[in-house]
């Protein structure tokens, strides 16, 4: 029964109470059976009466709680059956009903228990100390004592304690509030919000708000308000109470009236006790929770699973959800004839000493390319500018353009900054031995499995997808088009995200997916909040109903498939059980079942319904594709080659850029064509022979590899065409010949980028 409605005593958990009651009732029932078998009917009846009274007291409390909360309940049927069993002197039937009652309490307590949405992650991160400057120096004070107009010092790596205005320029990690992973440069005079992290040099600021009115405290309040508005879980049984209770009472009363025998009325009440609803449904839900956990999805209780199955609108944050949430190198542009791999090796060797998020991206890129890093010496950090040190006898500098470039900047640098502005990339410039050497462009890339996952979600019943982000509109629109969302909302702060979720929730059941503190209010307000928490526990994981423990979002599609199947089986098991109970009610009404036989028959119906509910544990439809060991090994080998050859794509464009009319670098073009023929084309052929059959076996369906074969052929055709064009050109190419070469290179670059994106989405994401 709905044991959660009765409040346990302080210090005694609901689960512990329900287990104790179930154990006591079962033991007493068996003790009574032992007395009966020994021929002591009086003692047996006494023990069974005690169990019945215990069940009667329990159901009385649950009914009283339901009435206080104005919720319908089928508990009244069990209460009447227990009272009737005592009145017609059928104590064994009453004891069996009581055991069923406590069994339902135990199972439902486990099925509907959801993790508490605590604010521990938010509270632990909230700034508590501020450093205030006055004529006597810098003093630490509680953040609650900061007044508007106070001058504060925020050190490197410290959290901004209150909203304020900068007196000095520096950069900030604002991901906690905006979700944007890239550090943001803030000049003097700019406003800065509490909760962001100083990612640059120490800076002074003037407080413009108190702690109670600052941005981070507002996020905390939004989460609390959203949690308070979340509706409680309602049992499947309660949804049928308004119709089922009157029907049962009518059949019971009619049986008594027509026969004049109250025992028949009690027998009807006994077999009408809706235990299939109370047992089968929670077991199916629990089984669904267990199955989801095997796929790296933690669903916090049966209510969340039911709401996940009911979801029709899916809302996404961008950063860390549809994108990786951390910057990666998208392109290396070098000055003159500098070697990109060598520049990356030297830069990564220097950046090994830095904990900066951009340094980590450069080091990771070097390791992905298999470059051997050297130790750096004499490393110095220039606050607000970059890093300086010596690697293999070379002086290496990394940082801002103003620290690296000469004035006016060269053409390659202007081209790089233009691309960065268009693509929303960050730039890290490099100099070697006092000479400007190149620039690294860094972006937050799209997750390769995101488009496939959104298509799978539509197959799972999602009717509308919405992207909500604090990032720039142009970047958000681009991501939304690639993954196929129905609507995009950009430049939104946590309060605006919360308002959008509430508007969508008013129209249809929602699922909100996010990653980060800024998403916590929206996650708490949605019908179901889903957090991607593979990189550690965050406030979003605390506020969410569903947590993806792996760094993949396609697990959400699996969770929705499992939720749909669990709910379907729960309803089928409950419906079948209730149909059998209805047949039993008819038999009891005409006198073919006594209360005791009816109670035993009801137990049999319960077992059948539970067995049906347990079929949730059997394999069912999921989105995840499992590769055979041999296929997995082959795909991983090809993916390693794919990663190694990725820089060759950007080399195609850089060579095209270098084909100027005045001094075309034909030797560099020759080297590129040699690499394309000796490295790229054999790899494409290996993919055609080995990877495409793996994809076909894994994905099935009509011709899943046709597009791959076509692009493989097109890449080879364009490489061959470029080679013929190059061989036909003399030592001094004409302008129209250079135009033809550039056009061919740019076209090849575009096709290669599209092909790689397709492979990562539809092939290598299966890994």
Q: Which residues are catalytic?
A: 317
Residues 517, 533: Cα–Cα separation, whole Å: 11
Which strands make up the sheet holding 137-142, listed edge to edge?
Answer: 137-142, 129-134, 151-154, 203-207, 164-166, 191-192
Identify the helix (H) or strand (E) that includes residue 15. helix 14-37
- Phi, psi (deg, nearest 5) at residue 432: -125, 125
Sheet holding 170-173, edge to edge: 184-186, 170-173, 197-198
Cβ atoms within 10 A of the Cβ of 676, count?
A: 24
* Rounded Cα distance, 229 and 225, in Å: 6
Query: If you write DSSP's letter for every residue of 368-404 in order, what string do you get?
Result: HTTPPP--EEEEEEETTTEEEEEETTEEEEEE-HHHH
Using a CB cutoff of 8 Å and minimum separation of 24, what contacts does 487-492 make? 492/468
| Measured distance CA(655)–CA(669) in Å, rounded | 6
Encoded tokens for 580: 């059998």
DSSP symbol at 516: S
Distance (Å, rounded) from C-alpha 76 to C-alpha 369?
Answer: 70
Cα separation, 564 vs 573, in Å, equals 14
What's the alpha-carbon Rg for the chain, to the nearest Å?
34
8-state DSSP, 691: I
Q: Contact at 8 Å (CB) between 534 and 548?
A: yes
List helix spans (H) across 400-519: 401-404, 411-423, 450-459, 473-483, 494-507
Which residues neighbour 489 within 8 Å (Cβ) at sequence distance 6 or greater? 466, 467, 468, 469, 476, 496, 497, 500
Strand order in the sheet with 297-299: 297-299, 546-548, 528-532, 510-514, 313-316, 464-468, 487-489
DSSP 273-325: --HIIIIIHHHHHHHHHHHHHHTTEEE-SHHHHHHHHH--EEEE-IIIIIB-S
Identify which of 173, 195, 184, 179 has the alpha carbon closest to the alpha carbon of residue 490. 179
- β 487-489/464-468 pair status: parallel
Q: Kindly give, in sequence order, each residue whose CB lies less than 8 Å from that of residue 332, ignoring residues fewer than 6 positions away.
A: 340, 343, 344, 438, 439, 440, 441, 647, 650
CA distance 91 to 47: 9
| DSSP characters over 46-113 | HHHHHHHHHHHHHHHHHHHHHHHTT---THHHHHHHHHHHHHTT-HHHHHHHHHHHHHHHHHHHHHS-
Q: What phi-psi label fits residue 261: left (phi over 0), alpha (psi between -120 and 50 degrees) or beta?
A: beta
Q: Where are the alpha helices (DSSP H) in 484-530?
A: 494-507, 520-525
Name every residue whose Cβ is closer than 8 Å to that of residue 262 and which is 6 or more positions away in sequence.
84, 87, 88, 256
Pairwise CA distance, residues 445 & 324, whole Å: 6
How far from chain centre, in Å, is Cα 345?
35
- What's the distance, CA 48 to chain centroid? 50
């Amino acid at each position: 029964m709905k044991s959660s409605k009765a409040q346990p005593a302080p210090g005694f958990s609901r689960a512990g109470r329900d287990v104790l009651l179930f154990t006591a009732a079962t033991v007493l029932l068996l003790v009574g059976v032992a007395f009966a078998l020994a021929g002591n009917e009086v003692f047996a009846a006494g023990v069974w009466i005690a169990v019945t009274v215990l069940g009667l007291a329990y159901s009385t409390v649950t009914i009283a709680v339901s009435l206080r909360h104005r919720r319908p309940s089928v508990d009244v049927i069990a209460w009447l059956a227990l009272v009737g069993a005592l009145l017609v002197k059928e104590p064994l039937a009453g004891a069996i009903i009581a055991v069923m009652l406590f069994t339902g309490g135990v199972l439902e307590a486990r099925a509907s228990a959801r993790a508490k949405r605590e604010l521990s992650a938010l509270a632990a991160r909230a700034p508590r100390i501020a450093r205030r400057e006055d004529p006597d120096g810098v003093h630490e004070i509680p953040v609650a004592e900061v007044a508007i107009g106070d001058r504060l010092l925020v050190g490197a790596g410290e959290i901004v304690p209150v909203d304020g205005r900068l007196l000095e320029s520096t950069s900030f990690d604002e991901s906690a509030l905006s979700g944007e992973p890239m550090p943001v440069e803030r000049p003097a005079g700019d406003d800065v919000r509490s909760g962001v992290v100083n990612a640059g040099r120490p800076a002074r600021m003037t407080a413009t708000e108190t702690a109670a009115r600052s941005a981070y405290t507002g996020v905390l309040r939004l989460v609390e308000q959203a949690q308070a508005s979340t509706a409680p879980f309602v049992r499947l049984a309660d949804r049928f109470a308004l119709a089922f209770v009157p029907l049962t009472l009518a059949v019971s009363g009619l049986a008594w009236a027509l026969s004049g025998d109250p025992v028949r009325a009690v027998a009807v009440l006994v077999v009408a006790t809706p235990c299939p609803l109370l047992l089968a449904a929670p077991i199916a839900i629990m089984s669904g929770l267990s199955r989801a956990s095997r796929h790296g999805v933690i669903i916090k209780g049966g209510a969340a699973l039911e709401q996940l199955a009911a979801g029709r609108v899916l809302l996404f944050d961008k950063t860390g959800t549809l994108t990786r949430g951390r910057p990666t190198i998208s392109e290396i542009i070098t000055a003159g004839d500098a070697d990109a791999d060598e520049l990356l090796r030297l830069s990564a060797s220097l950046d090994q000493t830095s904990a900066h998020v951009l340094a980590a991206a450069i080091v990771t890129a070097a390791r992905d390319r298999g470059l051997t890093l050297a130790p750096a010496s004499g490393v110095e950090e220039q606050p607000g500018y970059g890093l300086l040190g010596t690697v293999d006898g070379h002086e290496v500098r990394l940082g801002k353009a103003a620290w690296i470039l000469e004035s006016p900047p060269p053409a390659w640098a202007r081209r790089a900054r233009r691309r960065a502005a268009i693509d929303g990339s960050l730039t890290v410039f490099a100099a070697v031995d006092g000479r400007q050497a190149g620039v690294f462009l860094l972006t937050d890339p799209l997750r390769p499995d995101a488009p496939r996952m959104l298509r799978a979600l539509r197959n799972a019943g999602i009717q509308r997808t919405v992207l909500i982000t604090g990032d720039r509109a142009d970047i958000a629109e681009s991501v939304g088009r690639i993954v196929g969302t129905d609507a995009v909302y950009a430049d939104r702060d946590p309060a605006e995200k919360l308002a959008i979720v509430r508007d969508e929730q008013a129209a249809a059941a929602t699922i909100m997916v996010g990653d980060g503190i800024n998403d916590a209010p929206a996650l708490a307000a949605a019908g179901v909040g889903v957090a991607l928490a593979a990189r550690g526990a965050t406030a979003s994981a605390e506020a969410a109903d569903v947590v993806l423990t792996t760094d993949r979002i396609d697990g959400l599609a699996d969770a929705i498939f499992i939720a749909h199947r669990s709910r379907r089986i729960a309803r089928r098991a409950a419906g079948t059980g209730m149909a059998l109970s209805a047949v039993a009610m008819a038999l009891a009404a005409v006198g073919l079942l006594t209360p005791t036989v009816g109670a035993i028959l009801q137990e049999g119906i319960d077992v059948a319904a539970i067995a049906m509910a347990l079929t949730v544990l059997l394999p069912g439809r999921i989105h995840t594709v499992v590769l055979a060991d041999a296929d997995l090994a082959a795909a991983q080998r090809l993916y390693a080659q794919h990663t190694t050859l990725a820089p060759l794509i950007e080399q195609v464009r850089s060579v095209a850029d270098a084909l100027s009319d005045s001094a075309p670098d034909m030797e560099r073009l020759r080297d590129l064509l040699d690499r394309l023929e000796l490295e790229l084309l054999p790899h494409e052929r290996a993919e055609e022979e080995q990877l495409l059959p793996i994809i076909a076996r894994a994905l099935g369906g009509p011709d899943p590899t046709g597009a791959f074969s076509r692009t493989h052929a097109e890449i080879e055709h364009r490489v061959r065409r470029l080679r013929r064009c190059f061989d036909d050109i003399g030592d001094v190419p004409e302008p129209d010949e250079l135009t033809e070469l550039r056009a061919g290179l740019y076209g090849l670059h575009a096709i290669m980028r599209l092909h790689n994106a397709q492979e990562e989405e539809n092939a290598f994401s299966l890994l």
